[in-house]
Amino acid sequence: MKKFTMMRATPCIWILSAVVCMGRGHHHEGHDQDTALGSSADSVSLVTSANREFAYRMYKKLAAHTDSQGKNIFFSPASLSIALAALSVGARGETHRQLFSGLGFNSSLLTQTVVDQSFRTLLQRANKTSQDISEGTAVFVDNHFKPQPEFLDVLKQSYFADGFEVDFTKSTDSADTINKYVEEKTNGKIDKLVESLDPSTVMYLVSYIFYKGKWATPFDPKLTKKGMFTVDESTKVPVQMMNMERQFDTYYDQAINTSVLHLPFSNSYSMLLLLPDDMATLENDICPSHVTKWLKGMKSRTYDVHIPKFSIKTSYSLKDMLIEMGMTDMFGDRADLSGISEETELLVSEVVQKAALDVDEAGATVAAATGTVTLEAFIIYPVLKFNRPFMVLITEHTTENILFMGKIINPNI
């Protein structure tokens, strides 16, 4: 075996948001067993609240970076939070402070250990309460690189990390190993996470979420008709528009002129579709308190609802956006990731997220769902038609944690 030498190695962090298929300060600071909170429920609540705030801040960064291109936005803030929190296990000093601050964790109330335990609770809860969701992480380590055992142990215990040794000098084999793992975890929806391997890479940290949810009330495929979607003032595109007449929980937010439609899945998750009069106003103002207000103030009424079928995939390099959010040191010479390894100076090369979203009549599967069609003569219900750009949120009922978030500008791309 050749001796492995390197002046400076680069752990490359890949953040994977899997698929929705719908028809530290000082060295010991991060692992102090004394928690700043007396109740684990309180700490989970604080972490979940921080995750929600981070979701909206990250969305606004993505919107600012993609708006001029008129592109769809779709990402998993939950997956990104998990991956960056897992990285913070190995961060020290100012690098750790920046990660905690960027993620919205109050360091006077939350130690690294408390954060780790909270994510363990959240991941356990998600994986146990529904068979439709699978969350976790994986660490692919070069076989010449020896990370701290404590770092790997925390990732395994708190972030449900699978660990693998690979030979990154064999770039094709290593990429195949990572891509096959990701493909399996996402049920084949994301089959090529790694395009190429940097020869200086010593670690890949992958976070994945796979979610497939069936609508609590599926749409009838027989009612899906061709329609038009207004992308902008000069562009209209044909779409397959799903249709259903029944009682829906809705909310109209007069302050931001936005209609909110609540579509529950057959588990503890829901989709919220937000149809604004002006997208820029919604994007600038939206925050966690809006979702809380909408869910509490929902009214049930019969609507004639029209929603386009669509399938989108996104890929983002998030390095510049995270730097703008204050997480600067981990990408440069000031990076202190000595909790991962004290023998080699490390920095983060890139943070990448790939995501996919499929929306159809059934929800989770391509198999048609049977339903009862009720015909009511001479009754015209108010129409709620998503035939222009709208936002989408997928949330968990109890915690209002945001698994996925995005904006559909053009359902056809």
* 99 phi, psi to nearest 5 deg: -65, -45
pLDDT of residue 67: 63
Q: Judge whether residue 82 has pLDDT over 70.
A: yes
**What would the 3-class secondary structure string for the chain be?**
CCCCCCCCEEEEEEEEEEEEEECCCCCCHHHCCCCCCCCHHHHHHHHHHHHHHHHHHHHHHHHHHHHHHCCCEEECHHHHHHHHHHHHCCCCHHHHHHHHHHHCCCCCCCCHHHHHHHHHHHHHHHHHHCCCEEEEEEEEEECCCCCCHHHHHHHHHHHCEEEEEECCCCHHHHHHHHHHHHHHHCCCCCCCCCCCCCCCEEEEEEEEEEEECCECCCCCHHHCEEEEEEEECCEEEEEEEEEEEEEEEEEEECCCCEEEEEEEECCCEEEEEEEECCHHHHHHHCCHHHHHHHHHHCEEEEEEEEEECEEEEEEEECHHHHHHCCCCHHHCCCCCCCCCCCCCCECCCCEEEEEEEEECCCCCCCCCCCCCCCCCCCCCCCEEECCCCEEEEEEECCCCCEEEEEEECCCCC
Look up the pTM and report it.
0.86
Closest CA relative to residue 276, chosen from 297, 251, 305, 301: 251
Domain residue limits, the chain: 10-213+312-357, 221-308+363-408
What mean pLDDT comes out for the span 126-147? Answer: 81
Instruction: Tell me the mean pLDDT in the region 16-28.
Output: 36
Question: Among the CATH numbers 3.30.497.10, 3.30.310.80, 3.40.50.2020, 3.40.50.10320, which is that of 10-213+312-357?
Answer: 3.30.497.10
Average pLDDT over residues 33-57: 79
Residue 354: its pLDDT value, please? 85
Residues 6 or more apart from 233 whose CB is under 8 A from it? Answer: none
- The two tokens of residue 38 are 């007396």
Least confident of 184-193, 283-292, 325-334: 184-193
Q: Name 232's bridge partners.
A: 235
Query: Same fold for the domain at 10-213+312-357 and the one at 221-308+363-408?
Result: no
Question: Does the structure show a pLDDT above 70 at 54?
Answer: yes
Query: Beta strand 235-253 with 225-232: parallel, antiparallel or unpaired?
Result: antiparallel
pLDDT at position 159 over 70: yes
> Between these two residues, 270 and 94, which has the higher pLDDT value?
94
* Least confident piece of the model among 47-51, 153-157, 205-209, 318-322: 205-209
The CATH code for residues 221-308+363-408 is 2.30.39.10
Which has the closest alpha carbon to 98: 323, 326, 320? Answer: 326
Is 9 a residue whose pLDDT tops 80? no
For residue range 209-247, list pLDDT tens digits in order: 888 888 889 999 999 999 999 999 899 999 999 999 999
Q: Where does residue 363 fall: left (phi above 0), alpha (psi -120 to 50 degrees), or beta otherwise?
A: left
The mean pLDDT value of the chain amounts to 83
